[in-house]
Amino acid sequence: METVQVQPPEQASAPSPLKPSRSAAGILASFILIVFVLYVGRLFFITLVTAVLLAFILEPLVGFFMRFKAPRGAASFLACTVMLISLYLAALGAWSQTVGFLESLPTYTQRITNLVDSATVRLEEAEKAMRDLLVPQRVRDAEIAAQKAREEAEAARKAAAKRRRPVVEPPLPLPEEPQIQEVRIREDKSVFVNTIYTYIRGFYDVLLMASFVPFLVYFFLSWRDHFRRSLMNLVEGEKRDMIQRAWEGIANVARAYVVGNFLLGILLSVVSALFFWFVNIPYWQVMGPVSGFLSLIPYLGLPLAILPPVVAALPVYTGWTAYIVIGAVVALLHMIALNLLYPKLVGGRVHLNPLVVTIALMLWYLLWGGAGLVLAIPITAGMKAVFDNIPSLRGYGRLFGEGD
């Protein structure tokens, strides 16, 4: 009779300790890949994000035209036309002011040179006064006598060396090498041409991508409902509601941040331009908007907003009192805008803690340069809106937020 050996049931295998490490390695590899793609395709992504933000800015204008029974396509076209005309007029005004600034550039250069010389003289006088205060008179007299003795000894040494110097006939000139010189000239020309070509090529790429922005803005505005319906049709059930909430969250945050900052920048530009006109600052038509919108840059806004009017006022004012008043008024406008107007226009829908904002500014600046510094906060706020509306990612949303 055969005995049947019953094997004991296999125990549930313990979770491998390698799984967490593999998961962490996968997350790290995905992050590195995303960063690499964002850096390599930065021009494409900057263009796309800029077009999306401009579409959010123009969405209220599209709604205004649609109130007059205009189709969404026609309303989007009218909104884009208004945007292009406004940009053209702004560029035309900025160009005329730039030409005037270039014509008066020697005046600014002379004024800056005078300020530097005056500051140098004042520093030397302060150094001399401090030295006279700290160093006794007998020590100063001894140093002056020692310096005079060193100068006399150096002059005597040079005179003696000149008397003992043998007369050396100049060497015969070497035969010219026209072929080598021609090669060097060609090499110099090739380096110069390559440098110019590289610069123009980068500028050409930027202009080429910028030319797509109006078309992208128009398509985002006119095809918004179609994109939304198509995205919802890709999923069913709870996922559809989740995507719907995420879509609305991104729209609310982007509209609150982008439109609010745009309106705040317009308000600051108008008030700043009026103040610069009142105090007779040259090129106030350009300095006002530049100072107003630079004031909205996180952390760096205040010094950047003060710099343009101070530089423009160099040929007008000579005393430090005027520059102190200009800087104080710009700082006051900056503080009023951020502490009183910003919460009302932007609202409480953008809740990012300062640490996340700082890291985002650093990261996006390294990836996209100055454009990343401007786009960092709306991108991060949009990511937080997505995290808040997806249950599995709400922990990251709380990490980005300001806390309870």
Q: Are 272 and 330 in contact (CB under 8 A)?
A: yes
Query: What pLDDT sits at residue 302?
Result: 86
Reported as a single tens digit per residue, the pLDDT across 43-75 is: 899 999 889 888 888 888 888 899 988 898 899
CA 247/CA 347 separation, integer angstroms: 19
User: Quick one: how far is CA 387 from the chain centroid?
Assistant: 26
Least confident of 110-114, 177-181, 226-230: 177-181
Provide the token pair at 270: 């108008």
Query: What pLDDT sits at residue 349?
Result: 62
Question: Confidence band (pLDDT; 50, 70, 90) for 18?
Answer: very low
DSSP 73: H
Q: 127: exposed, middle or buried (C-beta count within 10 Å: 0-12, 13-18, 19+)?
A: exposed
67 residue type, one letter: R
CA 390/CA 174 separation, integer angstroms: 80
Reported as a single tens digit per residue, the pLDDT across 127-185 is: 777 777 766 666 667 777 777 888 888 887 877 777 765 555 556 565 555 555 555 55
Scanning 223-283, the segments in alpha helix (DSSP H) are 224-233, 238-254, 260-278
CA 151/CA 158 separation, integer angstroms: 11
Reported as a single tens digit per residue, the pLDDT across 360-399 is: 888 988 898 888 888 888 888 888 888 887 788 888 888 8
Residue (of 299, 271, 302) closest to 287 by Cα position: 271
User: How large is the average pLDDT for residues 9-16?
Assistant: 48
User: How large is the average pLDDT for residues 213-223?
Assistant: 89
Please work out, in degrees rounded to the nearest 5, the angle formed at the alpha carbon of residue 55 by the alpha carbons of 387 and 390.
10
Residue 287 contacts by C-beta under 8 Å, 6 or more apart in sequence? 272, 273, 276, 281, 308, 309, 312
- Quote the mean pLDDT of the chain: 78
pTM, to two decimals = 0.66
Q: Are 350 and 257 in contact (CB under 8 A)?
A: yes
Reported as a single tens digit per residue, the pLDDT across 346-361 is: 655 677 788 888 888 8
Query: What pLDDT sits at residue 12?
Result: 47
User: How large is the average pLDDT for residues 225-240?
Assistant: 76
Least confident of 91-95, 101-105, 161-165: 161-165
